[in-house]
Structure formats: C-alpha cells, structure tokens
C-alpha cells in the first residue's frame, strides 16, 4: 500500500505500485506511473506521461517529466521512461521526448544523477550511468552503460557517449566519445582510455592490452581513418572489446568522433 504524506498531491489517474512513498509537498501528475518501492522524499514533482521503475528514489526539488525545453514542442503526448533503482538527487531535471526525436526519453537502471543534473528531450541512456553535479545532456544524446559524466560537463545535442566512457569535469563535448575513452577540455579532446574504470569492472588484463594496442593504431597518424579501422578490425577479429570500438567509430553520428589533441590538430 502506498504511503502518501497529507501535504502531497497525487492527481486522479496516477498509478502507484506497492510500497510507494510520497513525501511532503510532492506532486504526482495524472498520467504518471510509479512502480513498487518508488520514493519521493519531499518537494519532488513527477509530471507528464512518465513511468518510474521500481526502487527509484527522487530527492527534493527534482522536476521529472515536465515539458521539454524545445521551441518545436507543441504538446504532443511524448513520454519519459525511467528504469529501476535509480537515484535522482536534488534539483535534477528530466524531460520527455519530442515528435522530432521519437517521442521518448529513456533512462536505464541503477543510474545516479547528482544534484542539478539535466537530461533533455529524446536522450537514450543505458544502465549504471553516473552524472555528477550539474552535468548536462542536450537533446537527442545517447549514453552507453557505465559511462561517467563529470561535474559541470555539457554534451552537445545528437552526440553519442560510448559505454564505459569518462567525461572530465567542466568539459564541453561536441563530438561522439568512443567506448572506454576519456575526454576533457573546454572543447573536449580524447586523452586516452578509461583504464581505471576497465580494471574496476573486471575486464581481463589481456583484453585491456589489446584495446590499448587497437586504440594506438586507430588514432595513429598516416593512412585514412577508414583504412586504420579496417586494419584494426582484421588484426583483432574475435576480440569483442576492440570490435565494439571499431563499430562505434564506423557508425559515428553527424557530430564526428572526439580524437586526441595531437591527431585532431594534424
């Protein structure tokens, strides 16, 4: 049975799972679904056509599901879907999708959104992602599993952030970030691989070594990027961690791919 504080407002039509807790002065809209064990601590707002997965906790002054900050939005019935066991801290904002982006913003499971983080319309996020304080995603961004976005970092619309990538604090990211890569800078550049993250997540030493070799080859000078990718794909055939890197770059968005500073300047 849901536990609702007397000062909270839960509008008719909202669907509440078992053991949902809604704290003081929180507001839940009429098209919201809160799964089992969701908790709104206090002063939290969940609006729009929004579903929140089981065990997710939403802290004070978070605004989840209100209309996207997109001048093209005309009130279309777009959605925000949030997975299980997420932590959404104070002042976080998350917006639903738009007609121009597939009508859906989606957040996976087990993510941490620290104070002031923003997830804009039509973003597609995987699992186990961390967005640090005031990190910002513009619209239409894809973020892979286990990615980390540092505090005050900002990601340009339509970029892709690969799985296990790390975005340094205060970075401005204008291009795709490769899986397992690290970027930093006002206009971010690639600084290497997220080796600490790879080790913490249990990747085999041999696979990490092959990924490092492949990285050096992909971003070497000489030849074209296409030729270097073909060579790496052939040399490391059957090594999934390398093939993931190759496939990601081959399928780069229209933003292009972040590269090391010396390569980008060459």
| CA proximity to 248, closest of 177, 198, 172, 154 | 177
| Alpha-helical regions (H) of 96-237 | 195-200, 205-218, 225-235
The Cα–Cα gap between 134 and 143 comes to: 16
Separation of CA 40 from chain center = 22
Backbone dihedral angles phi then psi of residue 261, each to the nearest 5 degrees = -60, -40
The packing angle between helices 205-218 and 240-250, to 10°, is 30
Any idea what DSSP says for residue 57? E
Any idea what DSSP says for residue 257? B
Q: Residue 248 belongs to what H/E stretch?
A: helix 240-250
Q: Give 111: exposed, middle or buried? Use CB within 10 Å, 0-12, 13-18, 19+.
A: buried
Q: Residue 265 belongs to what H/E stretch?
A: helix 261-265
Active site residues per annotation = 121-122, 139
> Cβ distance 118 to 93 under 8 Å?
yes
């Amino acid at each position: 049975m849901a536990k609702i504080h007397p000062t909270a407002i839960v509008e008719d039509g909202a669907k509440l799972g078992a053991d949902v807790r809604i704290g003081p002065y929180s507001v839940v809209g009429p098209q919201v679904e809160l799964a089992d064990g969701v908790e709104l601590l206090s002063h939290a707002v969940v609006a729009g056509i929004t579903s929140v997965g089981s065990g997710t906790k939403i802290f004070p002054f978070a605004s989840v599901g209100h209309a996207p900050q997109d001048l093209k939005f005309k009130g279309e019935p777009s959605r925000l879907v949030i997975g299980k066991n997420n932590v959404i801290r104070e002042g976080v904002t998350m917006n639903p999708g738009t007609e121009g982006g597939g009508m859906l913003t989606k957040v996976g499971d087990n993510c941490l959104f620290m104070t002031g983080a923003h997830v804009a319309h039509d973003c597609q996020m995987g699992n186990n992602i961390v967005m640090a304080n005031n990190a910002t995603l513009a619209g239409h961004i894809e973020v892979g599993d286990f990615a980390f976005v540092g505090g005050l970092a900002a990601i340009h619309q339509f970029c892709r952030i690969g799985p296990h990538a790390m975005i340094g604090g205060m970075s401005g990211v204008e291009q795709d970030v490769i899986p397992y890569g690290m970027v930093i800078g006002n206009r971010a550049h690639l600084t290497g691989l997220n080796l600490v993250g790879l080790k913490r997540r249990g990747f085999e030493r041999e696979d990490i070594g092959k990924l490092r070799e492949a990285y050096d080859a992909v971003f070497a000078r000489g030849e074209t990027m296409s030729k270097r990718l073909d060579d790496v794909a052939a040399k490391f055939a059957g090594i999934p961690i390398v093939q993931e890197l190759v496939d990601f770059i081959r399928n780069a968005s229209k933003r292009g791919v972040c590269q090391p500073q010396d390569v980008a300047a060459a």
